[in-house]
A and B are shown apart, each in its own frame.
Chain A
């Protein structure tokens, strides 16, 4: 008896911008793996409050452990890494990005694309909106004793607004601590004009990202601002900001979205153009990466489109007007760092989501509460209550994790989402009656 051929998985639908980004990422990981051969220095750093333009100005190659962890999560590699980190004593209670990163290190530091990620020359700890970042690099420092750790402390906006003193503190750290360290390690003198050039391109690309995010105000929304949104923020939040490639990416994305707007079409999902837009939602919190497509499918199968999300603001609130300013290179980096979403206090986060609910004419909002991420998660149940009180819109609540598949339960989330959407239907029918 012959075995019937296995059914081919359905082909994933990819837009030109996605293909472009895929190639950019592949090239990037190759560039990282070959950095040593090319005599380049490597800095590990974090996404929120990243100083990518500054690193490029020194010709230093940035590596983002969070991105490695999430890419490994999407490629189903993180489960083993997390277990390996737990085997050497890391608690099941703590951030799984950290454990996935350590697990990758313990397994030869082979990156998501199968290429080795070299050791860092510098650990640039941009301590922005997440306490765990600090611990993470203390741990990495023990594994990479030769790497220099440079701390950039970004004050939290506890009172809701950045103060001149906070800005000055960041600028002085950049000038007196971070830049001298990069000069020493890279062997290049700091050239402000080079940084300005990067920042000018950043601002140009930022316009493109904002165009994409704001397009979701339309009906139907031509984008999904959460599941699709994580692709749209990719180049901006990571190694590409400030580069010509980044500008090109956002030009391509803009064209693609404009075409959908002209065609009155909805978002593109992995299974092709989305059908009717039935529900417009706002999502707070990061996505789950290990079951990303499955998670997304739960939404688009129901006709639910996310029209704005907070996760797409962890690397900057461009949609609220911030642009990198080449005329004030260090000051603008300070402003950027302080404005990242998880550096905002809870009342400001509530105000922002409330604004999204109104501006994007959302039917409701959902919170994906991530076990790993106290910075996001702590306080979310109050955010839920507060938003319901202020807007009268219903909120829904899921729990999952970033890259630990043990904490993703598709059945639970499906049940909750379906119940939530049924509630929206009932409200609509009551409103009509």
Chain B
């Protein structure tokens, strides 16, 4: 029997429901199918999900509570000058919404997420909590070797959760599944860049967020369905400018903010939302030692990012290349308040863009920002200024 593909509207409805479900019901349902099933959460920005998947577990991206979670207990754990995502993540856990997760991985991105790993150990000693360090030295013999040891250590910790030894064949299989998924995410981003009127970022974003929760094969199917269906959507180009959004890689902007950017006259043709699904930019090798393949992918084929050390090349070079590749008219720096990685990079990016004559604008947000009018006016003005006064092509 032929499977009937869901419509775009149905896909959006499904992904929106996943996005809004702060109880992680999908994870609970997935685990309920077998008592041996385990789920492991991970924080932004990047996590080699293949390792969790290969252990027979569900990798679950946790990106805070957004704007739909009342912070009742979380504020008591963080000073006012710290970003919002740790307090909403603690809130999720203290309100038992993360009970379905058997462990959490805190990848190296900044000191706040790093320290959150220790808070987890203190608050939830019965759960696995791991800090995952990434190499800042990109020499395979140095940083590569260190990263491999980190991954081996993580693998051992995971195997303690379900008492199953790690298997290379399983890891290779997982790599293949995630390769396919990444190719489709790339196709989604490429389609949005070439026909942005066809793929609103609102929808692309929800699809990406669904990938944080769904089993990878299910998510891959969803991406395939969307990419087929959306081509026949009766959507027409508008007189929007093309922008790249930078700085929103960890604490996520509320969905309303993404909609606001689009309604203010912007096609978002690239961004750094939900980067875990796009961190690795090429297929990971499916031959040879799979752990080594993950290491090599990180060292050679990972995207540029604020959490990665750039010792000799100017920070902005990659961004300018991205602007050119995506034929963007400008850059919107949208960073969460108190986000060290994004905000410390921002002046460097701005300098590079100014030297290259690329327009940009800046604002800050929090994941629970509720008022978008001032942002709409700012971005609307930015969009109008580029449309009205930039040089004609």
Contact A386 to B348, CB < 8 A, known contacts A169-B146, A380-B79: no
> How far does the alpha carbon of A159 sit from the alpha carbon of B130 in the complex, in Å?
7
14 contacts between A and B (CB under 8 A): A90-B343, A131-B110, A131-B111, A134-B136, A135-B344, A142-B315, A153-B146, A156-B114, A177-B137, A350-B122, A374-B112, A377-B81, A378-B86, A379-B77
> How far does the alpha carbon of A91 sit from the alpha carbon of B106 in the complex, in Å?
26
Which residues on the A side are within 8 Å of B116 (C-beta)? 378-379
Tell me whether B356 is interfacial, beta carbon within 8 Å.
no
Which residues on the B side are within 8 Å of A134 (C-beta)? 136, 309
For the complex with contacts A151-B309, A155-B133, A156-B133, 5 further pairs of A-B residues with Cβ separation under 8 Å are: A89-B346, A125-B309, A158-B133, A379-B118, A386-B122
Residue from B76, B131, B339, B347 in contact with A89 in the complex, judged by beta carbons closer than 8 Å: B347
Residue from A130, A159, A382 in contact with B122 in the complex, judged by beta carbons closer than 8 Å: A382
Give the most central of B81, B139, B306: most A CB within 10 Å: B81
Which residues on the B side are within 8 Å of A377 (C-beta)? 79, 81-82
Are B111 and A378 neighbours in the complex by a CB distance under 8 Å?
yes
Are A158 and B117 neighbours in the complex by a CB distance under 8 Å?
yes
Residue from A89, A150, A165 in contact with B350 in the complex, judged by beta carbons closer than 8 Å: A89
Which residues on the B side are within 8 Å of A166 (C-beta)? 146
> How far does the alpha carbon of A379 sit from the alpha carbon of B76 in the complex, in Å?
10
> How far does the alpha carbon of A132 sit from the alpha carbon of B344 in the complex, in Å?
8
Tell me whether B314 is interfacial, beta carbon within 8 Å.
yes
Give the most central of A149, A377, A386: most B CB within 10 Å: A377
Residue from B82, B132, B339, B340 in contact with A95 in the complex, judged by beta carbons closer than 8 Å: B340
- Chain A, Cβ-Cβ closest to B134: A153
Chain A 158-185 interface 0/1 with B at a Cβ cutoff of 8 Å (1 = within) = 1100010110010011001100000000
Are A127 and B350 neighbours in the complex by a CB distance under 8 Å?
no
Tell me how far the C-beta of A38 lies from the nearest C-beta in chain B, rounded to whole angstroms: 28
Tell me whether B149 is interfacial, beta carbon within 8 Å.
yes
Tell me whether B160 is interfacial, beta carbon within 8 Å.
no
Which residues on the A side are within 8 Å of B114 (C-beta)? 131, 156, 158, 375
Tell me how far the C-beta of B307 lies from the nearest C-beta in chain A, rounded to whole angstroms: 8
Those 9 A-B pairs whose CB atoms lie nearest each other, nearest first: A346-B118, A158-B131, A135-B344, A89-B347, A165-B149, A91-B343, A379-B115, A169-B146, A375-B111
Residue from B76, B79, B142, B309 in contact with A399 in the complex, judged by beta carbons closer than 8 Å: B79
Tell me whether B337 is interfacial, beta carbon within 8 Å.
yes
- Chain B, Cβ-Cβ closest to A139: B348
Residue from B76, B118, B341, B364 in contact with A347 in the complex, judged by beta carbons closer than 8 Å: B118
> How far does the alpha carbon of A349 sit from the alpha carbon of B130 in the complex, in Å?
17
Tell me whether B202 is interfacial, beta carbon within 8 Å.
no
> How far does the alpha carbon of A150 sit from the alpha carbon of B136 in the complex, in Å?
11
Tell me how far the C-beta of A142 lies from the nearest C-beta in chain B, rounded to whole angstroms: 6
Tell me how far the C-beta of A226 lies from the nearest C-beta in chain B, rounded to whole angstroms: 20
Tell me how far the C-beta of B109 lies from the nearest C-beta in chain A, rounded to whole angstroms: 8
Tell me how far the C-beta of A315 lies from the nearest C-beta in chain B, rounded to whole angstroms: 18
Are B122 and A346 neighbours in the complex by a CB distance under 8 Å?
yes
> How far does the alpha carbon of A91 sit from the alpha carbon of B362 in the complex, in Å?
11
Are A374 and B142 neighbours in the complex by a CB distance under 8 Å?
no
> How far does the alpha carbon of A189 sit from the alpha carbon of B111 in the complex, in Å?
36
Tell me whether B187 is interfacial, beta carbon within 8 Å.
no
Are B117 and A374 neighbours in the complex by a CB distance under 8 Å?
no
Which residues on the A side are within 8 Å of B136 (C-beta)? 127, 134, 151, 153
Which residues on the A side are within 8 Å of B131 (C-beta)? 156, 158-159, 345
Are A130 and B111 neighbours in the complex by a CB distance under 8 Å?
yes
> How far does the alpha carbon of A169 sit from the alpha carbon of B143 in the complex, in Å?
8
> How far does the alpha carbon of A166 sit from the alpha carbon of B117 in the complex, in Å?
18
Interface residues of A in 347-383 (CB under 8 A from B): 347-350, 369, 371, 374-375, 377-382
> How far does the alpha carbon of A127 sit from the alpha carbon of B135 in the complex, in Å?
11
Give the most central of A132, A374, A377: most B CB within 10 Å: A374
Tell me whether A433 is interfacial, beta carbon within 8 Å.
no
Tell me whether B232 is interfacial, beta carbon within 8 Å.
no
Interface residues of B in 328-358 (CB under 8 A from A): 337-341, 343-348, 350-351
Tell me whether B78 is interfacial, beta carbon within 8 Å.
yes
Which residues on the B side are within 8 Å of A271 (C-beta)? none
Chain B 282-323 interface 0/1 with A at a Cβ cutoff of 8 Å (1 = within) = 000000000000000000000000110111101100000000
Interface residues of A in 374-411 (CB under 8 A from B): 374-375, 377-382, 386, 399
Residue from B119, B310, B311, B340 in contact with A382 in the complex, judged by beta carbons closer than 8 Å: B119
Which residues on the A side are within 8 Å of B364 (C-beta)? 91, 93
> How far does the alpha carbon of A399 sit from the alpha carbon of B78 in the complex, in Å?
12
Are A138 and B315 neighbours in the complex by a CB distance under 8 Å?
yes
Tell me whether A88 is interfacial, beta carbon within 8 Å.
yes
> How far does the alpha carbon of A261 sit from the alpha carbon of B78 in the complex, in Å?
41
Are A369 and B79 neighbours in the complex by a CB distance under 8 Å?
yes
Are A345 and B350 neighbours in the complex by a CB distance under 8 Å?
no
Tell me how far the C-beta of B175 lies from the nearest C-beta in chain A, rounded to whole angstroms: 23
> How far does the alpha carbon of A138 sit from the alpha carbon of B312 in the complex, in Å?
8
Interface residues of A in 212-227 (CB under 8 A from B): none
Which residues on the B side are within 8 Å of A155 (C-beta)? 133, 146
Are B119 and A131 neighbours in the complex by a CB distance under 8 Å?
no
Tell me whether B108 is interfacial, beta carbon within 8 Å.
yes
Residue from B115, B132, B137, B337 in contact with A346 in the complex, judged by beta carbons closer than 8 Å: B115
> How far does the alpha carbon of A155 sit from the alpha carbon of B131 in the complex, in Å?
11
Tell me whether A423 is interfacial, beta carbon within 8 Å.
no
Are A374 and B82 neighbours in the complex by a CB distance under 8 Å?
yes
Which residues on the B side are within 8 Å of A88 (C-beta)? 347
Which residues on the B side are within 8 Å of A163 (C-beta)? 149, 153
Tell me whether B9 is interfacial, beta carbon within 8 Å.
no
Which residues on the B side are within 8 Å of A381 (C-beta)? 76-79
> How far does the alpha carbon of A395 sit from the alpha carbon of B79 in the complex, in Å?
16
> How far does the alpha carbon of A369 sit from the alpha carbon of B82 in the complex, in Å?
11
Tell me how far the C-beta of B30 lies from the nearest C-beta in chain A, rounded to whole angstroms: 28
> How far does the alpha carbon of A159 sit from the alpha carbon of B122 in the complex, in Å?
12
Tell me how far the C-beta of A101 lies from the nearest C-beta in chain B, rounded to whole angstroms: 13
Tell me whether B121 is interfacial, beta carbon within 8 Å.
yes
Tell me whether B123 is interfacial, beta carbon within 8 Å.
yes
Tell me how far the C-beta of A139 lies from the nearest C-beta in chain B, rounded to whole angstroms: 6
